[in-house]
């Protein structure tokens, strides 16, 4: 699919503009994907050696998110984190607007195992996922276990969770990497 294409499916909305993420509120949309390349501000995080970097798992107010994230990223060992913090804060603010929340949980984790190896839907209203480095999150339609799709680093996906819908139409998982020596850098944002 070309990056300028916009495709409407039964449960997925894909586009090359950031407003596509707001379409997750539509009843028939269970996955919204913003197709884009990884911005340079986040490439700086992805290209750093992950040794000596701490995982981040913080519950934060949306107001003042960029300043809080700058400090948190620097405390975790990321260098020159200001641009990355602003990019993540912008994503968090957009996501909070879509999900109508004032606080978000932000996780930035180095994943070296088959974490979340089974296809599933999370017990949240919605979850924003963005792979910064390594293999992207895999997803498939709930009724079709043969067609597995993968997000590319830089693509932003919002998955509708089980709190929002009893019957998820889209399931996702971490790609299997155990024993390969590969790792992933993954950003996840949940509403609080």
CATH number of the domain encompassing residue 175: 2.60.120.10
In a domain, 77, yes or no: yes
Average pLDDT over every residue of 143-172: 92
Could you tell me if residue 64 is inside a domain? Answer: yes
Give how far Cα 124 sits from Cα of 10, 84, 127, 128, 190, Å. 21, 25, 7, 11, 7
pLDDT at 6 over 50: no
Mean confidence (pLDDT) of the chain? 88
Do 92 and 62 meet the contact criterion of CB atoms below 8 Å apart? yes
Residues composing the chain = 192
Report if residue 176 sits inside a domain: yes
Asked whether the predicted pLDDT for residue 141 surpasses 70, the reply is: yes
Distances in whole angstroms, Cα of residue 26 to Cα of each of 5, 31, 118, 164, 165: 19, 10, 26, 11, 11
Q: What is the pLDDT of residue 16?
A: 66
Does 13 reside within a domain? no
For residue 117, is it within any domain?
A: yes
pLDDT at 7: 44
Say which DSSP state 37 is in.
P
Residue pLDDT, tens place only, 112-133:
776 777 898 999 999 999 999 9
What is the domain extent for residue 141? 36-191
Q: CB burial class (10 A; 0-12, 13-18, 19+) of residue 140?
A: middle
- What is the reported pTM? 0.90
Q: How many domains does the chain have?
A: 1
Confirm whether 168 is domain-assigned: yes
Does any domain span residue 88? yes
**Residue 148: inside a domain, yes or no?**
yes
């Amino acid at each position: 699919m070309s990056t300028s294409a916009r495709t409407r499916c039964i449960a997925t909305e894909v586009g090359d503009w950031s407003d596509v993420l707001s379409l997750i509120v539509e009843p028939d949309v269970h996955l919204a994907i913003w197709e884009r390349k990884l911005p340079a501000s986040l490439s700086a995080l992805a290209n750093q050696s992950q040794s000596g970097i701490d995982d981040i798992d913080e519950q934060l107010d949306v107001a003042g998110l960029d300043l809080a994230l700058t400090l948190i990223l620097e405390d975790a060992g990321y260098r020159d984190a200001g641009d990355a913090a602003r990019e993540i804060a912008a994503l968090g603010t957009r996501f909070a607007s879509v999900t109508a929340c004032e606080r978000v949980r932000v996780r930035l984790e180095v994943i070296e195992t088959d974490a979340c190896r089974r296809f599933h839907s999370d017990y949240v209203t919605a979850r924003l996922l963005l792979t910064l480095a390594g293999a992207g999150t895999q997803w498939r339609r709930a009724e079709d276990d043969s067609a597995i799709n993968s997000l590319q680093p830089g693509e932003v996906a919002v998955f509708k969770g089980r709190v929002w819908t009893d019957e998820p139409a889209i399931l996702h998982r971490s790609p299997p990497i155990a024993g390969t020596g590969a790792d992933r850098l993954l950003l996840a944002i949940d509403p609080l």
